[in-house]
Structure 1
């Protein structure tokens, strides 16, 4: 989970806004809320987290929807397939960039916000540059290690500072505002939820780094794990974090 509510292996925010929640649990942030509160409100709004008709977080939309997930998966998949068939690094990198560019064109045609697609193509471009510079195909995936490590550090810091990221996201989706920080049990629940996300990111590093260190011999397995442990694992982790952090005694809608 990133500062824009997306999977760190993805490169842009979801284009969904949180849906309002009704009921006695509503505690909207007060007007004029200064500093961190206002920042947190905007942070949660841009996260793309939304409740479905059953009262749960809509994890598919939170991951960017079908198109957003495709934008995060296909460029890497195209690169792997192209390199496996041709063994030509430059050609495979161009194919991956072309796949990312197609999503930008698609969003232009759909007149949808370009933020996610542009961030995605920028991420693919950086990955392509790294692989082309070193001449190692496996370096196409190395950027993900740095972003995962950076997010782990940020999430850990948020727990230490008693501003767990899960609370900033889920708290505003649930209309708790920042009131959850005054309740030790709610703070603890959001700490646990944030640890779940840290666990997802750490597991990626534990599994994928050894494959990366195998060089080209581990490329196929690395790419496969990147796909499996990308959006699917992120969605699962987000769902578990949501369930673990729901307020007690407020019914299944939380």
Structure 2
């Protein structure tokens, strides 16, 4: 009789051996690529370019919203995911409303500043309550997310690592606010546009690089049942696993 026939065990298909390896796998599944960043940045480029050229807030806002809608239409024609481009359309629409309503071009950047302030507060709160924001990204990459969206929280090592990674996000939002708020108060529209682009995808890539270094350097053991595609097999008459 083999050992597998005596004791209950779990089988994993290509299961990472550490929490860090699993998080790398999940983040790769959950995050978008370069196209989403272009779709987010292009309306800002158009807004700043038109405003700098014509000093017409309504024209600049309309052009930015128009290019966002064109990008969404391209996605529809190609039958590809609308997740990122719809976010860009919504953000552009809100920014255009703020700019036109106030009559100040710099007001187009106020929603983004307020959003980053909210994210900063939210990520700090998530760490304090031991529901780290990165954990939700990890959970989104779990193929069993619909059945068990918060399964990642049962692994204490996963929570610890995700908390450390969430501090990187705290740094991202803090840097954005430290740069964007003074530019907004000074009404530096061109610099606000450049900063928004530079602090978008490039800063996000840099933060992912920091996270990647942290994940490569760490070797937190993965608790049983936390890997992707786990299949539990129990022998007849064998006791069930104790809850974590």
1:170 aligns with 2:128: no
1:190 aligns with 2:162: yes
Q: 1:21 Cα shift?
A: 6.8
**Pairing of 1:1-254 with structure 2 (within 5 A):** 22-23=14-15, 25=17, 51=25, 58=28, 62=31, 64-170=32-138, 173=141, 178=151, 182-183=155-156, 186-215=158-187, 218-245=188-215, 247-248=218-219
RMSD after superposition: 3.0
Distance in 2, Cα, partners of 1:231 & 1:114: 18
Q: 1:190 Cα shift?
A: 2.1
Q: 1:164 Cα shift?
A: 1.0
**Highest RCO, 1 vs 2 (Cα 8 Å, sep ≥ 6):** 2
Relative to structure 1, is the Cα distance of residues 26 and 238 closer, same or farther in structure 2, using a 3 angstrom cutoff? closer
Relative to structure 1, is the Cα distance of residues 25 and 180 closer, same or farther in structure 2, using a 3 angstrom cutoff? farther
Q: 1:195 Cα shift?
A: 0.7
Q: 1:200 Cα shift?
A: 0.4
Contact kept? 1:71, 1:100, Cα under 8 Å:
yes
Q: 1:220 Cα shift?
A: 1.1
Q: What is aligned with 2:233?
A: none
Count residues in correspondence.
Answer: 201
Structure 1 counterpart SS, 2:64: helix
Q: 1:66 Cα shift?
A: 2.6
Structure 2 unaligned blocks of 5 or more: 1-11, 144-149, 222-244
Structure 1 counterpart SS, 2:17: coil
Contact kept? 1:131, 1:140, Cα under 8 Å:
yes
Relative to structure 1, is the Cα distance of residues 104 and 245 closer, same or farther in structure 2, using a 3 angstrom cutoff? same
Structure (1 or 2) with the larger CA radius of gyration: 2
Structure 1 counterpart SS, 2:14: coil
Distance in 2, Cα, partners of 1:188 & 1:66: 29
Q: 1:179 Cα shift?
A: 5.7
Structure 2 counterpart SS, 1:23: coil
Q: 1:186 Cα shift?
A: 4.6
* TM-score of the two chains, using structure 1 as the length reference: 0.69
Q: What is aligned with 2:6?
A: none
Contact kept? 1:89, 1:135, Cα under 8 Å:
yes
Q: 1:119 Cα shift?
A: 2.7
Distance in 2, Cα, partners of 1:171 & 1:113: 20
Q: 1:167 Cα shift?
A: 2.8
Distance in 1, Cα, partners of 2:119 & 2:209: 18
Q: 1:233 Cα shift?
A: 0.4
Contact kept? 2:18, 2:219, Cα under 8 Å:
no
Distance in 2, Cα, partners of 1:126 & 1:227: 17
Relative to structure 1, is the Cα distance of residues 226 and 144 closer, same or farther in structure 2, using a 3 angstrom cutoff? same
